[in-house]
Structure formats: structure tokens, C-alpha cells
Structure 1
């Protein structure tokens, strides 16, 4: 949610060229690595948009929606701890703020990612799960595809979520930017 400091800043939005042609699936020709045993993530790196941030566990709010990291911490990313850890079989859900009252936050440039971009998640077990971006899409809040974003995956996949779409001074961001990725290697 936009919290105010610089209301003239508009975060990058993905183009239709970065969206899936069909449904969520790895890019053609991209390797798909074997999933890892579960281990909590501790850090996320997205070199192309200069993200290098610690990760924290998130739960669900009273209304059943995914909690978000504390708005005042501009460089922290959360993962849904009740679900799949990044690198394990299934869809790992990761969320970060686009901005806060002080300005840009960790996922401000998420909408600028391109297919094939690398996302690295350092795990508590000492391994780094390396993902390749398959697509990035923007959805209106009223038309958010829960099954597409949160649905299970037959391989190790990652969903990166932040606020996006249109912005209203009265109600904030009108949607979400979602990046879809799959595990390609383990270091």
C-alpha cells in the first residue's frame, strides 16, 4: 500500500509481453530442478532489480488474507510460513511492500522484472534455491485470481507479490503485481 511520502512516484508495471501466453508454467527450454526438502528461507536476492533482503515468516490475518511485513521496515520480505517453503515442491508465496511513508520499499521495482530474471532464496539449511522468472502479471483487486496465484504446483515454484496497478489517494493501490518463477538450480 502506498503510504504517502512521494505520491508522484509510480512503480514500474509489467507489460503484457511479460505475461503468460497460457497458464502458469516454466518458460520453454528452461531447466526444472528437483524440489528440495522443506527449509525456511532467510534471505532473498533479485540481482536485476538490486534486491538483497532478509526474509520473515508471515501468517494469515483474521480475515484469512496473507499478512504483510511491517510497513516501517522498507527492506524485509515475508513468506507464508503455513505453506510451501521456497525451493520445496509446491507454490511458495512471498510478499514485500512496494513503498511506505518514507518512499520506495523492497519490491518497488518488481514490475520491471523480465522473463528469465533470476531470483535467489538463501535457506536455513545453507542451500540457495535459484529460480527463473516465467512471467509477471498485474491484477485488479476485484479480479485477483486466487487459484492461479496460490494454487499448488507440481514442481518447486515461487510467487512474488506486491501492490500495484492503479493508485487512488483515497484507497491506495487498486491491485497487485505477481511474479511467477520456478526452481532451476540449487547451490
Structure 2
């Protein structure tokens, strides 16, 4: 609440960065039993400024991401963490969600338990209104397409994009870049032409 108050009084995310990172590092230690190292803090700063931070497997990318995710959630405009698969999204939302919930933030995961069941726009709108959303690149892509196909505002559920962390960015932006997202089915609105 204090950070949100300071932002509403004119301070920037950069002004509260040091304190916010200190708070989430302490929460990481208390909740997960892991305290981010200095090199992870450096990676978090790089990510906060919208740059790519290369970290090898086992160097704590997920823990590193807690800092810029927490900080940018204070914008009130949502933070997305995009992973290459549903397993990682659910796992990270469950594990890191403990930290964020402890710090008073909300977590959203736009997946159904039954892959054959599609969520309604109202359900998705609630999920995407969360402070932090964990999803996959393909799920976000399809949600973006469906949101833009909505014939009215009630059918829309995405809010404007604000800040995103992409896990395995090379896989998502390079390896999967040529994979098309195809929406099939009968048209939602019939044309008279």
C-alpha cells in the first residue's frame, strides 16, 4: 500500500526500485527460503528496464523475476509472465504466487482444468484484471486474437499490455515465431456480403 501511495503522489517506479526489491527479496527468503544473490538483483534491474537478461539453467531466473514483476505490478496496469508451456506457467504461478500473495498482490492463470472447456469472456476478464498473470505465448496469442474478434466491448477481456517478462525468450521469439496461431470454427458474426 505504501508503494502505491508513493506512486500516486508522483514518485516513479525507479524511485521505489531499491526499497521494493528489498521487500520482495525478504519475502522470497521468508516464503521460499531463498534469498536472491547480488547477481540476481543485477539481472532483475536489467529486466525492469526492458532488456534481456541471459541466465543459465539453475541460476534462478524465476527467483530473479520476482523483483521486476513485483515492482511493475504497482503500476496498476498488470504484469504478464509468459512461459513456453502451460506446465511452467502453472508451476511458477503456484510457487511464486505464494510470495506475491504474501505481499498483497493477485495472481491470474488463464487456463481451465479441462482443455475442452473454453472460458467465457467474463471469466477471462477477471483473470486478466489480476496484478500478475502467468500464461503461455500461444495462450496469450489466441486470447489476443479472440479479444480482437469480439464484436462488442462485453466480449473483450484483455486490458492494454503494460509489462511482460518472457521466460525462455529465445524459444518464444525465435524458435516458435514461425508457428501460426489459427482460429477455426464458424464465424461469430455473419456478413451480408
TM-score bin, normalised by smaller chain? 0.3 to 0.5
Q: TM-score, normalised by structure 2?
A: 0.33
Structure having greater relative contact order (Cα 8 Å, sep ≥ 6): 1
Higher helix share: 2
Which has more radius of gyration? 2
